[in-house]
Amino acid sequence: MSLKIAVVYSHHKLGDLIWQLPYLKSISKNFNLPITLITRPKTQAKDILKDNNYIREVFYCEFRKKLWYFVEIFNLYRFFKKEKFSHLFILDKISRPAIAAKLADIKNIIGPGIKNQKKWLTNKNFLSNEDYQNLDYSDQSKKILEINNYKVFETIPSLTIKEDTLINIEPKIDNSAQGIVTFGVDSFEIFKMWFEENFAELANKLIDANLAKKIYLIASPQNQNVVNKIIHLSGKNNFFDCSSLNLLQVIKVIKYSNYFVGNNSGPLNLASALGVKAFGLIANDRVSELKNSNIKPILPQNYRNEINREREGMKKLDVETVFDQIKENIN
């Protein structure tokens, strides 16, 4: 039987998918073959991964629950049966792909083996409950591969986006210009969001110090009010509202930036993976989760490596500290 490799990652957040890129690439490299990735459409993986040669194809599955559970097992079964994969890697605890793979007679089904998933897998070495509770998503994937004798070649995410992919995409940006800066100003988790008045004050300080000329503000459409508030509080006209841009447009903005400053969310991880100097504003969550990245974390005094789900905790990180860290690291 010829080798044909598929990988499932069912989480919907862009940042979570970015953390998995080293392991997708490592699986591909172990077999010297591009892989098929099965993930949620919300990740927009077809757009962001099309220039990466370790990806053969992206197949979307919603991974819905309740009655959809059985529909999606059937849809995955049909896809697996048609494609005739030799190996399926599952990089989270979801059972549906493992069940579908078993029904489709895939001979090698590798996953973490958490809870009911274990009975459908063919690998013999699994993550423990302690691993699942204590390791972040990146380290979980790393351990799944290593304990099953697959080599991990890298752990820091990187993402290839060719110039040809972006050249005709709005907005028009001179990628040779200096002073192009991007702020990531929102998050799926509000407790990770630095306050609007702090972003506005930081923007003014960077502009006045000639460390920024144009600042692109990235947020989801539902958080356009955050962007508007920052622009209003600043009183300057050096901003571009990116809240209505699609993902490839956001990627273009980030890729052409001199540096990125933002909350601990998807755009920060994306900036680092694109090779842009990325400053992460961390006060309420664990900076240790950024260890497998090139992100430069900016922390408040007396920072503790723990999660605080009250947004007020972000006020511990003052503007002066952030400004000084940026100034020191871009000159």
Tell me, yes or no, if the two domains 5-147 and 174-330 fold the same way.
Answer: yes
Interior CA angle at 260 toward 161 and 289, to 5°?
90
Contact assessment for residue 7 and residue 37, using Cβ atoms and an 8 Å cutoff: yes
Edge-first strand listing for the sheet containing 214-218:
239-241, 214-218, 180-184, 259-263, 277-281, 296-298
Q: How many residues does the chain have?
A: 331
Q: Minimal CA–CA distance to 255: which of 280, 240, 227, 277?
A: 277
Tally of CB atoms within 10 A around 306: 10
Architecture of domain 174-330: 3-Layer(aba) Sandwich (3.40)
Check if the beta carbon of residue 187 is closer than 8 Å to that of residue 223.
Answer: no
Beta strands in 92-179 (DSSP E): 108-110
Q: Which fold has domain 5-147?
A: Rossmann fold (3.40.50)
- The partner residues of 108 in beta bridges, in order of sequence, read 87
Residue 177 pLDDT: 86
Q: Domain limits of the chain?
A: 5-147, 174-330
User: How far apart, in whole angstroms, are the C-alpha atoms of residue 81 and residue 32?
Assistant: 23
Give the DSSP H/E element, type plus range, for residue 182: strand 180-184
Distance between CA atoms of 263 and 191, rounded to whole angstroms? 10
Q: How many Å apart are CA 205 and CA 199, to the nearest integer?
A: 10
Would you state the pLDDT for residue 1?
Answer: 66
CA distance 249 to 244: 9
CB 104 within 8 A of CB 98: no
- For the entire predicted model, the pTM comes to 0.94
Q: Which pLDDT value is given to residue 175?
A: 80
Nearest to 87, CA basis, from 67, 64, 105: 105
Contact yes or no for 147/125 (Cβ under 8 A): yes
Residues of the chain with pLDDT below 50 are: none
